[in-house]
């Protein structure tokens, strides 16, 4: 069985602080993600910190169905990692995150997902994991490439 996780890494010609500001601002995800077309902070949260809640408005596979996914920030280390879980307060299903690393005058950004290893999730992954894994990989690459375009706009490549 394919692992319950995957990642994509892209180098961006921008300082870590600029990349951090973008990946940790969930209200901008609609500009980049092929599936999540908007997100908003909820339950009084106003920005990234461990425990902050937000909701992502998702169009599954870019075509539907459309629904709101509750999310909670699980790791928030400015300039290093921003991670959140997707699911209810009691049951997380998936975790998404961004790891940042200064590299060659820019930032190496790794977006990843990691499914929770519960029996229902493992059965789902056994049945549909190959297809969903490809969709996730393409989505992560698209998201990072779109972020790269925004962050590099107007900058001279060296």
- Domain membership of residue 90 (yes or no) is yes
Global confidence as pTM: 0.91
In angstroms, the CA 62 to CA 64 distance is 6
16-41 confidence digits (pLDDT tens): 999 999 999 999 999 999 999 999 99
DSSP string, 128-146: HHHHHHHHHHHHHHHHHHH
In angstroms, the CA 71 to CA 55 distance is 6
- Domain membership of residue 158 (yes or no) is no
User: Count of domains in the chain?
Assistant: 1
Between the alpha carbon of residue 52 and those of residues 3, 17, 112, 133, the distances in Å are 28, 20, 20, 27
- Domain membership of residue 56 (yes or no) is yes
- Domain membership of residue 48 (yes or no) is yes
Res 49: pLDDT: 98
Q: Residue 14 is part of which domain span? A: 5-152
CATH number at 116 reads 3.30.530.20
125-153 confidence digits (pLDDT tens): 888 888 888 899 999 999 999 999 999 99
Q: Which tops the pLDDT comparison, 61 or 71?
A: 71
- Domain membership of residue 82 (yes or no) is yes
Q: In this structure, what DSSP letter does residue 105 have?
A: T
On whether the CB atoms of residues 27 and 36 are closer than 8 A, the answer is no
- Domain membership of residue 157 (yes or no) is no
């Amino acid at each position: 069985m394919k692992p319950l996780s995957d990642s994509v890494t892209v180098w961006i010609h921008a300082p870590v602080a600029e990349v951090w500001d973008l990946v940790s601002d969930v209200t901008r995800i609609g500009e980049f993600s092929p599936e999540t077309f908007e997100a908003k902070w909820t339950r009084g949260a106003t920005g990234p910190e461990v425990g902050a809640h937000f909701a992502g408005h998702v169009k599954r596979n870019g075509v539907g169905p459309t629904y709101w996914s509750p999310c909670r920030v699980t790791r928030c280390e400015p300039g290093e990692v921003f991670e959140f879980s997707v699911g209810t307060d009691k049951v997380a299903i998936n975790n998404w995150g961004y790891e940042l690393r200064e590299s060659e005058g820019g930032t190496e950004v790794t977006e990843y997902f990691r499914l929770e290893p519960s029996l229902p999730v493992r059965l789902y992954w056994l049945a549909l994991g190959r297809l969903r894994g490809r969709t996730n990989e393409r989505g992560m690459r698209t998201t990072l490439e779109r972020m790269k375009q925004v962050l590099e706009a107007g900058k001279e490549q060296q």
